[in-house]
Structure 1
Amino acid sequence: MKISLANRIEVGLFRHKLLVLMLFIITSAFFLFQATQIRLDASFTKNIPLNHSYMKTYLKHRTNFGGANNILISVCDSNGDIFNADFFNALKGVHDKLFFIPGVDRIQVKSLFSPSTRFVEVVEDGFAGGPVIPADFQPSEKGLGVVKGNIEKAGIVGSIVADDYSCAMVKAALLEFNPDTGEKLDTLEIAEKLEQEVRQEFERDNISVHIIGFAKMVGDVAEGAKGVVLFFALAIAITAVMVYIFCHSIRLTVLPILCSLVAVVWQMGMLSSLGFGLDPMSILIPFLVFAIGVSHGVQMINSVVKKVATGLTPASAAQASFRALLIPGGVALLSDTVGFLTLLSIDIGIIKELAITASIGVAMIILTNLILLPVLLSFTKIKVSAKVGQLSEQSAVWSFMASFASKGPARIILFFTAILFVVGFYQGQGLKIGELHAGAPALHESSRYNQDTFLITDRYAISVDYMSVIIETSADACTYYDTMSTIDRFQWQMENVAGVQSAVSLSSISKIVNAGYNEGNPKWRVIPRNQQTLVQSIARVPSSSGLLNSDCSVMPVILFLEDHKADTINTVIEAVKVTAKELGSEHVQFKLASGPVGVMAATNEAVAEAQLPMMLYVYGAVIALCLISFRSVRATLVVVLPLYVVSTLAQWLMTALDIGLTVSTLPVIALGVGIGVDYGIYILSTMSTKLKEGMNVHDAYLEALKERGSAVLITGLTLAIGVSTWFFSDLKFQVDMGILLTFMFLVNMLAAIIILPALSAFLWPEKRNDKK
């Protein structure tokens, strides 16, 4: 039934090939126009698992306590002393500029110039206080002296002002929507405004401006992602050289590259038509689509040239090649598509969009490289060179490699494969989920963003890596000693957890205020048991402080962590869960989590939960497609087992190179399996035919090498060399992806030509008429 269907498609396609060509031209023109309309899209919510319990807590209380989408701007004086007129003029300028940027939550803009930044001091009659910078402030020596005293009284050294008085901070939170337009906030536009209207305007010889936060980080990543255009051009050049080395024909070099570029244009146009944009991560996918397209195009070129060499006309050769490669090529590309689609199992918007982007691209390759390319080849004059395919059918290389399918060499190959697998499996157990390095993981340590992060971490007492544990209770619960005491015990236990730098909550502030009412005596730094005294100790803490909501039914405990490394986050999260279970009750419930580290923890857990199902889906799909295609369990095993070995070795590589399993690296595992299966399918499709004709395994593999070997080798090398250019990217996550993809493309190719025949030698019985 499949053969008759393939024949009908073949006859219809080549009988009306001019019409087919016209349809491709018209469709390409339409998608080219649509592709020009595509835009970059990098919203904050795409990067978090919205359905995770932590993120439900985060979204529920984001209005009262702010979110993780914050901006921190540290303005520093190069002389190490902020108390001068130039500095305060620059700081006020930064504060005002940030305040009026559309999309900034103006209520939560906080700096020395914010009216909410106040000091309180104990005086003879009780308390006195006011704004740190008074309304009549002038940056004179006297005025600056008053401000310095107020800063010390306010207790904001280490949070709003640097420990050494060399910098001051401006903090803000971003809204989800732009209040001017009502549309979703354009994170990249915010990043551009921060760079041009804040940093460039106020940074000068003696003043430096350091900006961190999700929006700025995404902006820097997007800026680095522009280098993808250069890598894409480089990939085209490298691919062209590799394909020309293979076929020694400019015409045959141009055609697969052209068809692959058409697939990319269709992919971009389709995304734009469906309303999707490109984020800095999925912008790498067109590069992969191009590389995959060329690899399948080389298989088609290889087949057509070999058939022309037997005496067929180019038109007949193209038609015969279409018929021969429709099933194996289609199955291979379907495997690629399914490999991408398995990423939909990860409940994070940015990965889901990556899955959609990639699967659309590979689906386009099915049309451009399995249909358009053979049609174009049927119009092409092909001169067969003796060098085509590089290795002749009588090459000693093929004879040597064919020995891999003999039981003697196969035993040695499988023995060493088993050793590698066991070692890789053992070492791969050390693979950690989450980030393993300080700073923004998407960027290199030397990047301006990470250098700004390190400066802020060094000069301020607070960490930029913080997490809020939300305590939900009843209204006015903060006026009851039992509730406040429970929160205080929780905070104390958290402060003694490894990785927690410090913590703050309403209970800890109430103790400080209570001591203030008692002449600052540290003996009174306790939570008052008397309700009236307790009310007095919290009355001066406004809801805008982020430590309580309007009716005091929700209070966060903010934990400042030493870093956001995977081990640190796991330790703290586990400690929170244990302590919450111990201290929590029906009346007082501890909810994880908000803040940047809360988002990271939820993301790490989402990745951990998705890892096994994703691998089961991708291998399940590959196994199903192989079974349908080859109708043989043996054939399926010899294709899938080498893939599994390589996946295991990839996890070992990640452990050895200190690369964590993250949002950016998890998809690579699925991609490596989905794309890596292509080599085995192409080789086995020929082997399977020859085995059915009565050949033994050795001879069948030799024939497969003669027919497909050169193309498999050249495509594996082309894919690997193409993504290896990512090693030089400005983006750390692209470097990590490049390392892993290069490894998986290259090693999957080697596994297909070494391990696959070795397994075949034992899974297919020897023929009685085999030559001894």
Structure 2
Amino acid sequence: MLARVEEIVFRFRHVTVAAFVVATLALGWFAAKTHVDASFTKQLPSDHEYIQNFKKYQEQFGGANRVVIALIAKKGDIFTPEFFQTLKTATNDAYYLPGVDRSQVTSIFTPNVRYIEVVEEGLTGGNVIPADFVPTAAGLERVRQNIIKSGRVGMLVSNDFTGAAIIVQLLEVDPQTGKKLVYAEVADALETKIRQKFESDTFGVHIIGFAKVIGDVTDGARGVLLFFGVAIVLTAFLLYYFSQSLILTILPLITSFCAVVWQLGILNLLGFGIDPLSILVPFLVFAIALSHATQMLRSFRYEYNVGGTEMVAARASFANLFIPGTVAILTDTVGFLTIWLVKVPIIQELAITASVGVTLIILTDRFMLPVLLSYTRMAPDFRRRVNFRRFALQPTWRRLVNFTTSPKSSLVIVAVAAALWGFGLYKAKQIRIGDMHAGVPELRQSSRYNQDTAAITRKFSIGVDVITVIVETVPNGVIEHDIMSLVDRFAWHMRNVEGVQSTMAITDLARTINAGWNEGSLKWRVIARNRDALAQSVSPVETSTGLLNNDGSVIPVMIYLRDHKAETIQRVIAAVKDFRAAHQSERVKFQLATGNVGVMAATNEVVVAAQFPMVMWLYVAIIVLCLISFRSWKATVCVVLPLIIVSDLAYALMVFLEIGLKTSTLPVVALGVGIGVDYGIYLCSALMERMEKGDSLEDAICFAYATMGTSVVFTGLALSIGVGTWAISALKFQADMGVLLAFMFLVNMLGAMLLMPALATWLFRAKRGPALTRPPFPMTK
């Protein structure tokens, strides 16, 4: 069957090349239309309990997609005419930002921010900024008192009265255009219409929120192209050194680039864009394609060197590498597909994006590249240059074979690997789920966004990190003393949890209003026991505050956190669950959770649930493919065991680098394993081929080193250096991925070159022969 495919491909090679050119041009046209596609809803694990509650109450109480704009006076406090005029204008401009839900804009200038006070006649209240406000000394003092009475100090006004905040909610569909919200445009509007307009020597502007994160990541992603360019140039130089031929350098780069073009074109046809957090995937596809192309080059050089013509060498390379190469590419594809088990749309989209690109490598590297190689005409001295290097490397391969196959040294290699595995398992247990640092982990701590986050957290008792627990109760539950008292105790319980800055619930206002009806006495600042008195206490609270629904059957409790570190989220969620378990009843149900931290908590729990199944199915798939390919459990162990060790060491590295396991890092483990297995498959295929022909284990390993070893070492180094350049990227998540992938590429290469032969030495003891002294293979067939 394979021989017939080979015959058709090369007999009609002109047609094959023409078909590839047409496909590349057509898909390139669609690839040029690829757009950045960021969406908040793609971050939501929609099947999770928290997200179900989030969607259920999103329309009533707003979503988790908030933007906080803080205007802070650099000198003095906010009570100046200039500050209030600036804040008023900024609030008005915020209404006209793209995608803003105008019913959910909040600042001291919006009518949904009111105060209540006790007067001689009873209670009175009004907007914090009265309609007749004039920024005189008396008018500003009046507003100061209103702010204090409103209870919004620390929320809409900073604790030290040096700043004020504007909070807006964003919709997924821009109400002005009716189209899907483009977050890059929102971020740009926040910069041009808010920050640049209002920031001055007098006032500072700080902005945080998902839209701003996406904007900053998108800006940083433009710099990613520079790193891609640097990586490609470095790889091209290394490839030229490896291939010793300009044409053999250019062709793999062309076919690898075609794989990326095809990927982007097909994704555009399927209606997908590129999320800023997945911007690295095309480069990974390019790197994987180049890795497999290198093996094709290695085979072509060998077949040509032993006397074949360019056509014969190309056809032999196609036949020799089609099965092991396809198996290796399929393992890469499986590595990406297992990410689908993480039930978060952005991760599942990444799985589709990457698996489509990797699958296409079968066409570009297994078909297109050998056909193009058949057209080449090598320089007259090419064989001499190849032979010179081959003979120069023979002593190295012989020494390496003797080292990895001698009983003592092979046992040392296995023992060291076992010790490292034990260390990796020990450290892997310490890995944290979620973010390890305050601020946004996708950006560096020195970034403007994370500096804005620190400034807002320092000045205010709120930030963008909020989790809202929805208390479901009976209709008119807000006038039932036992229910309101329980909600009040819950809010108090959460305020005493480490990492919580403040809480907000209707019970806070009910206590204040009850005191107001009793001459302001602090003794009456409690939840009224009498039903009518309690109704009197909550009646001034409007649904627009987001503290209750129309029939008083739903009571949100907003919990503002100092940060969204993994340990903070876990501590808060555990405290909520403990209280719920102790006080749950048919009349009162505490439901987790809305707010952006509720989304993070759900995502973290999904990652925890998917982590083991993802890795398990990945290894099951690799083991099955290896068993089918090698038909030997011993060979399968030799390939898979080093992968498992490297995976656990990667987790240990994440612990040392303080990188949490989350949606942006979990795929790296699968990718590293899927790509890393290529080294072992290529080496083991050569090893098994020679042993089946009767060679001793030592001869077979030396043959594998001499034929596959150079390309394996080159690929490991080239990929490690290429992704290693990401470590200096302005995007922290790209830098983290670069370090992790470079580690996995490099250590997987070492595992294939050292540990796999050492394992084979003990598993294939019957095949062992004397220490190797002769060359690894003859110069002719």
Q: Which TM-score band applies after superposition, normalised by the shorter structure?
A: over 0.9
Opposite residue 497 of structure 1, the aligned amino acid is: V
Opposite residue 131 of structure 2, the aligned amino acid is: A
Matched position secondary structure for 2:104: strand
In the alignment, which residue of structure 2 is the partner of 1:766? 766
In the alignment, which residue of structure 1 is the partner of 2:400? 401
In the alignment, which residue of structure 1 is the partner of 2:44? 48
Matched, 1:648 2:648: yes
Residues 222-261 of structure 1: pairs in structure 2 closer than 5 A: 222-261=218-257
In the alignment, which residue of structure 2 is the partner of 1:99? 95
Q: CA deviation at 1:241?
A: 0.5
Q: CA deviation at 1:628?
A: 1.0
In the alignment, which residue of structure 2 is the partner of 1:205? 201
In the alignment, which residue of structure 1 is the partner of 2:778? none
Over residues 39-82 of structure 1, what are the superposed CA-to-partner deviations in whole Å (9 max), with x where a residue is unaligned?
10111010121110000001100111111100100012221322
In the alignment, which residue of structure 2 is the partner of 1:418? 418
Q: CA deviation at 1:502?
A: 2.4
Q: CA deviation at 1:429?
A: 0.8
Matched position secondary structure for 1:664: coil
In the alignment, which residue of structure 2 is the partner of 1:754? 754
Equivalent residues of 1:28, 1:266 under 8 A apart? yes
Matched position secondary structure for 1:766: helix
Distance 1:386 1:424 in 2: 46
Opposite residue 474 of structure 1, the aligned amino acid is: V
Equivalent residues of 1:93, 1:202 under 8 A apart? no
In the alignment, which residue of structure 2 is the partner of 1:732? 732
Residues 282-431 of structure 1: pairs in structure 2 closer than 5 A: 282-383=278-379, 384-388=382-386, 390-392=389-391, 395-403=394-402, 404-431=404-431
Q: CA deviation at 1:482?
A: 1.4
In the alignment, which residue of structure 2 is the partner of 1:132? 128
Q: CA deviation at 1:520?
A: 2.4
For these two proteins, the number of residue pairs brought into alignment is 768
Equivalent residues of 2:44, 2:603 under 8 A apart? yes
Matched, 1:183 2:179: yes
Equivalent residues of 2:698, 2:768 under 8 A apart? no
Q: CA deviation at 1:388?
A: 3.7
Over residues 560-615 of structure 1, what are the superposed CA-to-partner deviations in whole Å (9 max), with x where a residue is unaligned?
22321111111111121121011110111110111111111101000000000100
Over residues 610-669 of structure 1, what are the superposed CA-to-partner deviations in whole Å (9 max), with x where a residue is unaligned?
000100111111111111111111111110000000001111111111111011110000
Q: CA deviation at 1:509?
A: 2.1
Opposite residue 274 of structure 1, the aligned amino acid is: L
Superposed CA RMSD: 1.5
Over residues 344-369 of structure 1, what are the superposed CA-to-partner deviations in whole Å (9 max), with x where a residue is unaligned?
11111111111111111111211111
Distance 1:352 1:88 in 2: 47
Query: Does the C-alpha gap of structure 1 residues 767 and 619 become closer, same or farther in structure 2, counting only changes over 3 Å?
Result: closer
Q: CA deviation at 1:504?
A: 2.1
Distance 2:667 2:548 in 1: 40
In the alignment, which residue of structure 2 is the partner of 1:661? 661
Distance 2:393 2:177 in 1: 69
> Which TM-score applies when normalising by structure 2?
0.96
Opposite residue 185 of structure 2, the aligned amino acid is: E
Equivalent residues of 2:461, 2:560 under 8 A apart? no
Opposite residue 440 of structure 1, the aligned amino acid is: V
Residues 61-80 of structure 1: pairs in structure 2 closer than 5 A: 61-80=57-76
Partner residue of 2:116 out of 102, 115, 120: 120
Distance 2:391 2:136 in 1: 87
Matched position secondary structure for 2:720: helix
Equivalent residues of 2:116, 2:513 under 8 A apart? no
Distance 2:94 2:585 in 1: 42
Q: Relative to structure 2, which stretch is displaced further, 323-332 or 91-100? A: 91-100
Q: CA deviation at 1:153?
A: 2.6
> Which TM-score applies when normalising by structure 1?
0.97
Opposite residue 398 of structure 1, the aligned amino acid is: W
Matched position secondary structure for 2:317: helix
Equivalent residues of 1:57, 1:591 under 8 A apart? yes
In the alignment, which residue of structure 2 is the partner of 1:193? 189
Matched position secondary structure for 1:392: helix
Distance 1:283 1:236 in 2: 16
Query: Does the C-alpha gap of structure 1 residues 337 and 174 become closer, same or farther in structure 2, counting only changes over 3 Å?
Result: same
In the alignment, which residue of structure 1 is the partner of 2:779? none
Distance 1:119 1:134 in 2: 11
Q: CA deviation at 1:473?
A: 1.3
Matched position secondary structure for 1:107: helix
In the alignment, which residue of structure 1 is the partner of 2:146? 150
Matched, 1:490 2:490: yes
Q: CA deviation at 1:387?
A: 4.2
In the alignment, which residue of structure 1 is the partner of 2:9? 13
Distance 1:725 1:622 in 2: 29
Query: Does the C-alpha gap of structure 1 residues 705 and 147 become closer, same or farther in structure 2, counting only changes over 3 Å?
Result: same
Q: Relative to structure 2, which stretch is displaced further, 94-103 or 381-390? A: 381-390
Distance 1:748 1:697 in 2: 22
Over residues 104-134 of structure 1, what are the superposed CA-to-partner deviations in whole Å (9 max), with x where a residue is unaligned?
1101101121012222211111112221212
In the alignment, which residue of structure 2 is the partner of 1:698? 698
Structure 1 stretches of 4+ moved >4 Å:
768-772
Matched, 1:680 2:663: no
Equivalent residues of 1:42, 1:187 under 8 A apart? yes
Matched position secondary structure for 1:278: coil
In the alignment, which residue of structure 2 is the partner of 1:272? 268
Q: CA deviation at 1:385?
A: 4.9
Query: Does the C-alpha gap of structure 1 residues 127 and 99 become closer, same or farther in structure 2, counting only changes over 3 Å?
Result: same
Distance 1:703 1:667 in 2: 35
Distance 2:687 2:327 in 1: 16
Matched position secondary structure for 2:102: strand
Over residues 174-224 of structure 1, what are the superposed CA-to-partner deviations in whole Å (9 max), with x where a residue is unaligned?
112122333322222211111112112222221221111111111111111
Equivalent residues of 1:247, 1:387 under 8 A apart? no
Q: CA deviation at 1:768?
A: 7.9
Equivalent residues of 2:457, 2:562 under 8 A apart? no
In the alignment, which residue of structure 1 is the partner of 2:777? none
Matched position secondary structure for 2:105: strand
Opposite residue 354 of structure 2, the aligned amino acid is: A
Over residues 392-430 of structure 1, what are the superposed CA-to-partner deviations in whole Å (9 max), with x where a residue is unaligned?
376221012112033221111001111111111111110
Over residues 444-473 of structure 1, what are the superposed CA-to-partner deviations in whole Å (9 max), with x where a residue is unaligned?
111101111110000112243221111111
Over residues 261-312 of structure 1, what are the superposed CA-to-partner deviations in whole Å (9 max), with x where a residue is unaligned?
1111111111111100000121101111111111111111111111111111
Matched position secondary structure for 1:226: helix
Opposite residue 744 of structure 1, the aligned amino acid is: M
Q: CA deviation at 1:96?
A: 1.1
Opposite residue 259 of structure 1, the aligned amino acid is: T
Distance 1:762 1:214 in 2: 54
Over residues 495-549 of structure 1, what are the superposed CA-to-partner deviations in whole Å (9 max), with x where a residue is unaligned?
2223323222112321122122222222212111101100011111111111111
Matched position secondary structure for 1:158: coil
What percentage of residue pairs aligned between the two structures are identical?
49
Distance 1:197 1:125 in 2: 45
Distance 2:113 2:209 in 1: 21
Equivalent residues of 2:698, 2:769 under 8 A apart? no
Over residues 680-725 of structure 1, what are the superposed CA-to-partner deviations in whole Å (9 max), with x where a residue is unaligned?
0000110000111111211110010111111010011011011001
Opposite residue 583 of structure 2, the aligned amino acid is: L
Distance 2:393 2:152 in 1: 80
Matched position secondary structure for 1:235: helix
Q: CA deviation at 1:234?
A: 0.8
